[in-house]
Structure 1
Amino acid sequence: MLSAVILLVTGIAWQNLNALTDGLTKQDLNLADAGEKPADGAIDILLVGMDSRTDSKGNPLPQNVLNELQAGGTDDGGFNTDTLILLHIPNDSGKAYAVSFPRDSYVKIAGGFGRHKINSAYGYAKGQTAEKLQGSGKSPQDVEMESRKAGANNLIETIQNLTSVKIDHYAEVNLVGFYEITKAIGGIDVCLNKNVRDSFSGANFKAGPQTIEGKNALAFVRQRHGLPMGDLDRVVRQQVFMAGLAKKMLSAGVLTDGTKRSQMIKAVSGAIVLDDGWDITKFALQMKDLTGGNMTFQTIPTGNPDLQTPEDGSAVEVNESEVHAFVKSLGKEPSPSTAPDPKFNNASVTVEVRNASGVPGLAAQVLQSLVAKGFVAGPTGNAEAMSKSVVRYGKGGEDGANAVQKALGGLKIEEDVNVPAGRVRVFLGSDYSGPGTQGFTGSAALNLDGARQQPPADPNAPKPITADGVRCVN
């Protein structure tokens, strides 16, 4: 998904830029008047992976191609945006951030469509516009492209409302484009913790390191059924995959290999949609020094991953104010609020953490984050599965429980006579997304070299399998 930008950023031979840009589809989108430019001059790009059965020009994909992709028929899939990433690049071309939005994030959709999963923002507006244009005398091709433009604009507005960020540029890739791009560069190195088999996406992989391309690459980033954290695990997969993509392009001579470079340009130019005002050549020259170590992947903070909704079934809970604060903090030093509260002596509280989420090693990581804020480490352990996290305290221990729940992002607290005085017991349910989580919240970052920017998990846990620096994931 990120390959179009990475291709340019990492120094493609400039004589090939015309060959690339001439084949791109451009859309005149509502970007120029979307809001004031931030004072820091940063560039914010919305990157979209489209689950559509058409190419970038609106032409239906051949059924034999859909069969290869295991993507159903031409009427399946609609226009859901399966991958949404906000790429934030500072004006000094320094460290950049790629922020993922889980496709099932339950948010307010722009255009008056109400609250739904974020991946439907494009489709709602596209469908409404197409319906209005029926009988207008416009050709089917014109109706298709105009309704797509409406879908992209509604998606942009939805993301801007959610993040309070002005989107400067827009890039979109479809299923077949992703398929061709991965084949053009010879595949991506990934690593899995366990064997996986999923009939919905076509994923069928053994545990451990492996190189994937084409339909296997597509299955790897699309699978969510059968994963412990569902859509949130898929976000981590997408981030690790893109880290591997950048690593492959930077280290394997893709950009210096004439054949691979030509195949890459052909794949990108036939599958990417950009906003009409984006000067790709200028952007590439500005970003040519941005390399793998200068970009980190993060994910917006999320709550309950199994939020039951009136119309959309199970979704991922999102708090807009938390997303605003998270995006605003990108690239800034940690807030002083992460230090121990001077009004309360955190060292007077011993914290025990019980893992009821099913995520291996989470209790140890959460406890480590609390120790960093001045609390005393108690024992960790597992508990029966819980959907809601809770902080429990003994008689007279409410102040300590309040300090702990504040440090963890505001969990429910309750008194429990079984908790000894001076101790607080934290139960981490499946909804937990605060400090100590891995990859699927804003607190854990992933470098393009595949390394996590976070403390190691439980030292007694098995070491993760590595594949030349690639992080193993679910």
Structure 2
Amino acid sequence: MSDDSTGSGGRAARRRRRKPPKRRRALAIAAWSAAGVVLLGGAGLGYFYFKLNGNLKTVDIDQALGADRPQNVDNGSMDILVLGSDSRGGANGEYGPDDGGSARSDTAMIVHLYEGHQKASVISIPRDTMTARPACTTTKGGKTDPGGTRKQFNEAYTIGGAACAVKTVEKMSGIRMDHYIEVDFTGFKKIIDTLGGVDVTTSKPIKDDYSHLDLPAGPNKLNGEQALGLVRTRHGVGDGGDLGRIQLQQAFIKALIKQVKSIGLFDNPKRLLDLADTGTKTITTDRALGDVKSLMGFAQSLQGIDAHNMQMITLPVTVDALDSDRVAPLTKQSKLVWDALLADQPVPAEATENSMGDKGTAGGVVQ
């Protein structure tokens, strides 16, 4: 079959075809350019999606704990156990010698999101709280540790990792944890640096050689190293104990929330992707949050929460009767806390009236 387009008639027809007006050509170029951007952008997002998914580390809490858990109360609220790990292995070695690869939960917070996710309560659990610990499968050798009625809280993570920490919190509170999130030292620093630092104002100088922190009084923009020093310091403020450090951590979290709101993170795609890359490399989540889509949906559900509608307290505690260097939960007051969260209600003021946890002045050091 012949191809007439190669003959003179075809060439004449092409010569007679009128050129499209400039406006139409411009629109066509714009349309194809837009299509190209969409395709390239989609490919880029697809790349980042798989990359970020590959970054995530997860633990299957549901499989590890099975049916031995509190009832899942479906009232629109959500409870998340957030742990800061103090492993001295790998990049965290600069904060002290590696103690055989073990780690403890340096920071533990139960974040309760109220129905509608417009406000939250955060309950900090002192790491040296003496409490009952249930039997847990150990992370080394898979044996069963019998637990006991008098164990230090942060040893649960050392004994049985995330699953044992969740199980201990659930036994303490009677509240089922919907999710689990863990951040380590190095990851925390990188997240703060990716955000561009966090602005805090200190009412007096803070100097702590143990956490390498040296801040003058007044406005300070903390980089990752300084922010980590602040949330870890025990000797620079208050009575030098863990309760003062918890107050600093709570004050810093509020400053961090304000920082995220002020920089318009969701309006800066590059910074958002950088933060997503850093964050997914440095956190461990439960299986239900272990993919980018679920994690992004969870993060977006928190956008309505601001520092002013976040209630932050320490689990009501007093000096432990057998060890003055440890604390013990106040039974009646702690029950007020757990009952309030189960009912999706604010924690009543009387829950903390007789507690050591929120009586110090360390929280007023950072604004």
Sort the TM-score into its range (normalised by shorter chain).
Answer: 0.7 to 0.9
CA pair 439-239 structure 1, distance change in 2 beyond 3 A:
farther
- Contact 1:44/1:166 (CA < 8 Å) preserved in 2? yes
1:437 to 344, 351, 359: 359
Larger displacement relative to structure 2 (87-96 or 155-164): 87-96
Q: Deviations over 1:166-214 (max 9, x none)?
A: 1111010111000101110111122333223222211222222211112
1:157 to 159, 162, 167: 167
* CA drift at 1:86: 0.5
* CA drift at 1:164: 1.3
Distance in 1 (CA, whole Å) between partners of 2:52 and 2:129 is: 34
Distance in 2 (CA, whole Å) between partners of 1:32 and 1:97 is: 27
* Residue 278 of structure 2 corresponds to residue 267 of structure 1: yes
Distance in 2 (CA, whole Å) between partners of 1:287 and 1:196 is: 32
Match of 2:141 in 1: none
- Contact 2:244/2:360 (CA < 8 Å) preserved in 1? no
Residues 217-232 of structure 1: pairs in structure 2 closer than 5 A: 217-229=227-239, 230-232=241-243
Distance in 2 (CA, whole Å) between partners of 1:242 and 1:334 is: 19
- Contact 1:24/1:272 (CA < 8 Å) preserved in 2? yes
TM-score, scaled to structure 1: 0.57
Match of 2:147 in 1: 113
* Residue 51 of structure 2 corresponds to residue 51 of structure 1: no
* Residue 250 of structure 2 corresponds to residue 239 of structure 1: yes
- Contact 1:236/1:473 (CA < 8 Å) preserved in 2? no
Distance in 2 (CA, whole Å) between partners of 1:51 and 1:301 is: 24
2:58 to 26, 42, 46: 26
- Contact 1:179/1:214 (CA < 8 Å) preserved in 2? yes
* CA drift at 1:118: 1.2
Distance in 2 (CA, whole Å) between partners of 1:408 and 1:294 is: 21
* CA drift at 1:334: 7.8
- Contact 1:96/1:294 (CA < 8 Å) preserved in 2? yes
* CA drift at 1:217: 1.1
TM-score, scaled to structure 2: 0.72
Distance in 2 (CA, whole Å) between partners of 1:94 and 1:101 is: 23
Match of 2:268 in 1: 257
Q: Deviations over 1:33-55 (max 9, x none)?
A: 3231114232111001000134x
- Contact 2:119/2:306 (CA < 8 Å) preserved in 1? no
Residues 92-107 of structure 1: pairs in structure 2 closer than 5 A: 92-107=116-131
Match of 2:365 in 1: 472
* CA drift at 1:256: 2.3
- Contact 2:70/2:174 (CA < 8 Å) preserved in 1? no
Distance in 1 (CA, whole Å) between partners of 2:220 and 2:281 is: 28
Match of 1:195 in 2: 205
Match of 1:375 in 2: none
Residues 170-181 of structure 1: pairs in structure 2 closer than 5 A: 170-181=180-191
- Contact 2:333/2:352 (CA < 8 Å) preserved in 1? no
Distance in 2 (CA, whole Å) between partners of 1:257 and 1:92 is: 26
Which ranges of structure 1 fall in alignment gaps of 5 or more residues? 1-13, 55-59, 126-150, 339-405, 410-431, 441-445, 447-470
The letter for the 1-side match of 2:359 is T
- Contact 2:316/2:329 (CA < 8 Å) preserved in 1? yes
Match of 1:295 in 2: 310
Match of 1:350 in 2: none
Match of 1:322 in 2: 333
Distance in 1 (CA, whole Å) between partners of 2:353 and 2:88 is: 42
The letter for the 2-side match of 1:298 is I
CA pair 17-325 structure 1, distance change in 2 beyond 3 A:
farther
Distance in 2 (CA, whole Å) between partners of 1:439 and 1:90 is: 28
* CA drift at 1:236: 0.9
Match of 2:36 in 1: none
What is the DSSP-based 3-state SS (H/G/I as helix, E as strand, rest coil) of the residue aligned with 1:329? helix
- Equivalenced residue count is 301
Q: Deviations over 1:44-102 (max 9, x none)?
A: 11001000134xxxxx33xxx644xxx12344783111110111112322321121111
CA pair 282-195 structure 1, distance change in 2 beyond 3 A:
closer
Identity of counterpart residues, as a percentage?
27
Residues 32-431 of structure 1: pairs in structure 2 closer than 5 A: 33=67, 34-54=69-89, 60-61=90-91, 66-67=93-94, 71-75=95-99, 78-111=102-135, 112-114=146-148, 115-125=150-160, 151-229=161-239, 230-278=241-289, 279-304=294-319, 307=320, 309=322, 314-330=325-341, 332=345, 409=354
Distance in 2 (CA, whole Å) between partners of 1:407 and 1:250 is: 30
CA pair 285-187 structure 1, distance change in 2 beyond 3 A:
closer
* CA drift at 1:21: 3.9
CA pair 194-291 structure 1, distance change in 2 beyond 3 A:
closer
The letter for the 1-side match of 2:225 is K
CA pair 208-327 structure 1, distance change in 2 beyond 3 A:
farther
Distance in 1 (CA, whole Å) between partners of 2:347 and 2:84 is: 31
Distance in 1 (CA, whole Å) between partners of 2:205 and 2:295 is: 41
What is the DSSP-based 3-state SS (H/G/I as helix, E as strand, rest coil) of the residue aligned with 1:194? coil
The letter for the 2-side match of 1:91 is E
* CA drift at 1:308: 6.5
Match of 1:145 in 2: none
Higher helix share: 2
* CA drift at 1:232: 1.0
* CA drift at 1:272: 0.5
Distance in 2 (CA, whole Å) between partners of 1:88 and 1:321 is: 20
CA pair 73-433 structure 1, distance change in 2 beyond 3 A:
closer
Distance in 2 (CA, whole Å) between partners of 1:334 and 1:276 is: 29
* CA drift at 1:247: 0.7
Q: Deviations over 1:282-330 (max 9, x none)?
A: 43454443344432222211112xx4646xx711232244322213224
- Contact 2:336/2:347 (CA < 8 Å) preserved in 1? no
Distance in 1 (CA, whole Å) between partners of 2:347 and 2:61 is: 35
* CA drift at 1:249: 0.8
The letter for the 2-side match of 1:237 is L
